[in-house]
């Protein structure tokens, strides 16, 4: 239902613009179209010419409206308002960025304290472990050479035994 309403609004608006900016009366336009079609054309030249004239009329009307002192005053006021809003936005952005920098700085300091505390705890733990093991020797003690027994030399088999084994195989 909303689409039909928009279409109807657009059609009425178009008709009003057509009447407001039409360079010729409708009867004159139809007469020119009829002549062009009778000469073998389709009417596009007449429509193109009419559209061009309408475009020129719209441009001239726009210039007149723009140059009107009341409109110029409103434009000037609008520019001031935009500048004021831009300045306010810039201030808020500055305040916001400063706040975020402060938050980030606080988090970094807090994290640094935590890291420092954890490092101190680790150092204390290492000191305690080192102190607890400092009275123990760090490597095993060696026995004196007098108590260490040397292994007995390996016995060699008699040469005759080897020879008898070889003759048995033959």
Phi, psi (rounded to 5 degrees) for 156 = -95, 140
- Return the axis-axis angle of helices 44-67 and 69-133, rounded to nearest 10°: 80
Query: What percent of the chain shows pLDDT beyond 90?
Result: 17
Mean of pLDDT over the chain: 76
Q: Is the pTM of this model over 0.85?
A: no
Q: What does the alpha-carbon distance between residue 170 and residue 124 come to, in Å, rounded to a whole number?
A: 79
The pLDDT of residue 166: 53
Q: Which has more pLDDT, 9 or 115?
A: 115
List Cβ neighbours of 61 (8 Å cut-off, separation of 6 or more). Answer: 21
- What is the C-alpha separation between 13 and 26, in angstroms, rounded? 17
Q: Among 8-17, 36-45, 142-151, whose mean pLDDT is lowest? A: 142-151
In whole angstroms, what separates CA 49 from the centre of its chain? 50
- Rounded Cα distance, 164 and 161, in Å: 5
Which tokens hold the place of 142? 């060696």
**In terms of C-beta density within 10 A (0-12 exposed, 13-18 middle, 19 or more buried), how is residue 46 classed?**
buried
Place 133 in a pLDDT band, splitting at 50, 70 and 90: confident
Whether residue 4 has pLDDT greater than 80? no
| Whether residue 86 has pLDDT greater than 90 | yes
What's the token pair of residue 85? 């809003």
> What is the mean pLDDT of the segment spanning 90-104?
91
What band does 29 get if pLDDT is binned at 50, 70 and 90? confident
At 135 the pLDDT is 58
């Amino acid at each position: 239902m909303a689409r039909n309403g928009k279409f109807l609004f657009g059609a009425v608006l178009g008709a009003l613009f057509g009447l407001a900016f039409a360079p010729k009366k409708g009867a004159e336009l139809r007469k020119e179209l009829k002549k062009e079609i009778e000469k073998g054309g389709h009417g596009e030249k007449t429509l193109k010419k009419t559209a061009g004239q309408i475009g020129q009329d719209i441009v001239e009307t726009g210039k007149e409206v723009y140059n009107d002192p009341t409109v110029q005053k409103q434009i000037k006021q609008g520019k001031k308002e935009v500048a004021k809003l831009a300045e306010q936005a810039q201030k808020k952005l500055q305040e916001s960025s400063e706040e975020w920098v402060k938050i980030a700085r606080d988090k970094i300091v807090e994290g640094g304290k935590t890291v420092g505390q954890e490092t101190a705890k680790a150092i204390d733990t290492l000191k305690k472990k080192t102190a607890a093991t400092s009275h123990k020797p760090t490597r095993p003690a060696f026995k004196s050479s007098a108590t260490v027994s040397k292994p007995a030399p390996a016995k060699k088999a008699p040469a005759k035994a080897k020879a008898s084994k070889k003759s048995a195989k033959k």
